Amino acid sequence: MDMFCYQCQETTQGKGCTKIGVCGKIAEVANLQDLLIFTLEGIAKLNLQARKIGINQEEADRFIVEGLFSTVTNVNFDKSFFIEKIKQAVALRDQIKDNLEKAGTNLDKNDKAINWAYQSDADIEALAPQVGILATRDDDIRSLRSLVLYGLKGMSAYDYHAYQLGYKDDSIFEFMEQALSKLLDDTLTADDYVTLVLETGKWGVNTMALLDKANTSTYGNPEITHVSIGVRNNPAILISGHDLKDLEQLLEQTAGSGVDVYTHGEMLPAQYYPFFKKYPHFAGNYGNAWWMQDKEFASFNGPILMTTNCLIPPKESYKDRVYATGVVGFPGIKYIHEGPDGKKDFTEIIEHAKKCEPPTQIESGEIVGGFAHNQVLQLADQIVDAVKSGAIKRFIVMAGCDGRMKSREYYTEFARALPKDTVILTAGCAKYRYNKLNLGDINGIPRVLDAGQCNDSYSLAVIALALKDAFGLDDINDLPISYNIAWYEQKAVLVLLALLSLGVKNIHLGPTLPAFLSPNVAKVLVDKFGIASITDVEDDMQILLG
Ligand code: FSO
Ligand code: SF4
């Protein structure tokens, strides 16, 4: 069976995965994800009409967000999950349709997204390969639609986390529905889609701001924190992904059990929140970025809870220790459901941990983080003085993702080669390429300032805007800040669009430009925003440091 997916940086030959994903996603799952999105586009159209007459369903908003999130790279690999989700989507869509018809709305009988039906699973599987991104024939329109769709996927992840903590903004749902419905509108021109791309970035900023508010209101403002990267001698659970609410419940339920909890990958920044410091069994961070999990999960010895991406197909040696929750899935691994009260019962994982050996030590020492906007703004005077005195010549934003490709060693070399009067601002799992290099500090300010998870790239924008004011500048691009961003999956696409919408220019993007940029769309990004791909460390040092 064929498939087509080019949504992440590691896509086959920099063009597209057509037989199986480099990530391990099989063709059937890729196609079912496309059909789920097609059906969500139908729901979006209908719910927009329902909004106009005041009968929109919040259930649909939430369903769209969860559905989109489940199709992000390395979230869910489970065919049965997608068949079930598609069936639920059709049922929900038809229910909104009924309500609209009862209210006297005339619906388009020829619109496949709102009318397709199935008798059996075979019908679903037959339609799935026909509705992917290749159904858009024009290269440039397809490219722009991809940018919007992947931006929306990133947005769904951040909105989902905010929602889990009880924070929602109906205007974000409405924007997502408008944007999704426009992906099927053949009357729109390339210019219309360029506008939509930038709007997606603007709503990306709003969504990240909402999540920032949800996180900091619930767990306090991240603060400078030294995190142990060694191990203790107790059995333990490793928690990965981005969901802080899952972490809270796990810490609460493991308290006093004799089982420690460690973070992995993108869960590391949870250590920076005051709220989580009250748990003495919150033992530290184990390992590195997502792609090293096949070795690190094996040596951890205890169970692992994946709350979001990035999951890689688990090896048999540790598969029975991997648990999924939320929108994560992989055939054959155990799943922890959320109860109707929003609570999850982690007893099974805790009992499992008690039977396991303590983690095998792979590193020792500690790393420092917690430089989100509130903490950095407390240091603002010190930072402004250091810039004025020339002690800090430049900041380099190196946020984004890490990945498997050998070419990503560039980021370690780049960080190492940066002059001693520069400071790296980071967020996301990209940090693991240089956060253990001991790059020192400048007058007490560490040379790697980690703001948090990829969504905390928002913090970096807040910091840049505050520095702009502190220096009395009119243009964010006049700051001594350069951008050398690494991307991998669709949240990074949203972060990129968010930065563009804030007017940030001359972003360097790597290790390769997205396969979904057509030559013309890439040209717009280059001409309008000065986007460039990375070259080599020496040349980029010249370009980015001037
Ligand atoms: Fe990384 Fe994966 Fe956070 Fe992504 S763990 S790659 S951009 O999911 O979301 O930074
Ligand atoms: Fe390929 Fe990336 Fe899509 Fe996986 S997510 S199938 S690696 S393009």
- List, for residues 139-159, the tens digit of each pLDDT value: 999 999 999 999 999 999 999
Distance in Å, CA 154 to ligand 2 centroid: 15
In a shared domain, residues 296 and 408: no
Residues 338 and 411 in one domain: no
Q: Does 57 have pLDDT greater than 90?
A: no
From 100, 135, 170, give the residue that closes a domain.
135
Distance CA 481, CA 470 (A): 14
Is pLDDT above 90 for 198? Answer: yes
- CATH (domain of 107): 1.20.1270.20
Strand partners for 26: 20
User: For ligand 2, what atom is nearest to the CA of residue 515?
Assistant: 8
Q: Are 276 and 325 members of one domain?
A: yes
Same domain, 347 and 243: yes
Number of the ligand 2 atom closest to the C-alpha atom of 74: 5
Checking if the pLDDT of 56 tops 90, the result is no
Q: For every residue of 109-143, which 3-state class applies, written as one string?
A: CCCHHHHCCCCCHHHHHHHHHHCCHHHCCCHHHHH
* 329 and 453 both lie in a single domain: no
Q: For 215-242, what is the mean pLDDT?
A: 98
Q: Are residues 274 and 390 in the same domain?
A: no
What pLDDT is recorded for position 126? 96
Question: Ligand 1 site: residues with CB under 6 angstroms?
Answer: 74, 265-266, 290, 309-310, 401, 428-429, 453-454, 488-489, 491-492
Is residue 501 in some structural domain? yes
Q: What is the pLDDT of residue 535?
A: 97
pLDDT at 88: 98
Q: What percent of the chain has pLDDT over 90?
A: 99
1 band by pLDDT with thresholds 50, 70 and 90: confident
Q: Is residue 127 part of a domain?
A: yes
pLDDT digits (tens, 9 = 90+) for 401-454: 999 999 999 999 999 999 999 999 999 999 999 999 999 999 999 999 999 999
Domain C-terminal end among 88, 116, 135: 135
Three-state secondary structure string covering 206-257 = HHHHHHHHHHHHHHCCCCCEEEECCCCCCCEEEEECCCHHHHHHHHHHHCCC
Whole-number pLDDT of residue 187: 97
| 130 and 263, same domain (yes or no) | no
Question: Which pLDDT value is given to residue 205?
Answer: 98
Based on C-alpha coordinates, what's the Rg of the chain? 23
Residue 156 lies in a domain: no
Of 354, 384, 402, the one marking the end of a domain is 354
User: Ligand 2 centroid vs 230 CA: distance in angstroms?
Assistant: 33
**What tens digit of pLDDT does each residue of 298-357 get?**
999 999 999 999 999 999 999 999 999 999 999 999 999 999 999 999 999 999 999 999
Task: Tell me the whole-structure pTM to 2 decimals.
Answer: 0.98
| pLDDT band at residue 546 using 50, 70 and 90 as cut-offs | confident
Same domain, residue pair 468 and 382: yes
The rounded distance, in Å, linking the Cα atoms of 17 and 461 is 33
**How sure is the predictor about 393, in pLDDT bands with cuts at 50, 70 and 90?**
very high
275 and 335, same domain (yes or no): yes
User: What is the pLDDT averaged over residues 515-535?
Assistant: 97
Confidence grade of residue 229 (pLDDT, cut at 50, 70, 90) = very high
Residue 134 CA to ligand 1 center (angstroms) comes to: 26
Neighbours of 218 (CB within 10 A): 16
The vertex-249 CA angle with 402 and 272, nearest 5°, equals: 50
In a domain, 22, yes or no: yes
309, 435, 450, best to mutate for ligand 1 pocket (most atoms within 8 Å of CB) = 309
Average pLDDT over residues 256-283: 98
Structural domain includes residue 342: yes
Mean pLDDT estimate for the chain = 97
Tell me: do 325 and 386 sit in the same domain: no
Residue nearest to atom 5 of ligand 1 (CA): 310
- Other residues' Cβ atoms within 10 Å of the Cβ of residue 301: 18
Residue nearest to atom 6 of ligand 2 (CA): 21
* CATH classification at residue 341: 3.40.50.2030
Count: domains in the chain: 3
Q: What is the mean pLDDT of residues 457-476?
A: 95
Indicate whether 43 belongs to any domain: yes
User: Does residue 538 share a domain with residue 399?
Assistant: yes
Mean pLDDT of 12-39: 98
Q: Is the pLDDT of residue 358 over 90?
A: yes
Indicate if the pLDDT at residue 96 is higher than 90: yes
Q: Does 187 map to a domain?
A: no
Ligand found nearest the CA of 313: 2
Whole-number pLDDT of residue 517? 98
Q: Which domain holds residue 418?
A: 374-544
Which pLDDT value is given to residue 10? 98
Residue 525: its pLDDT value, please? 96
The answer to whether residues 447 and 499 belong to one domain is yes
43 pLDDT band, cuts 50/70/90, is: very high
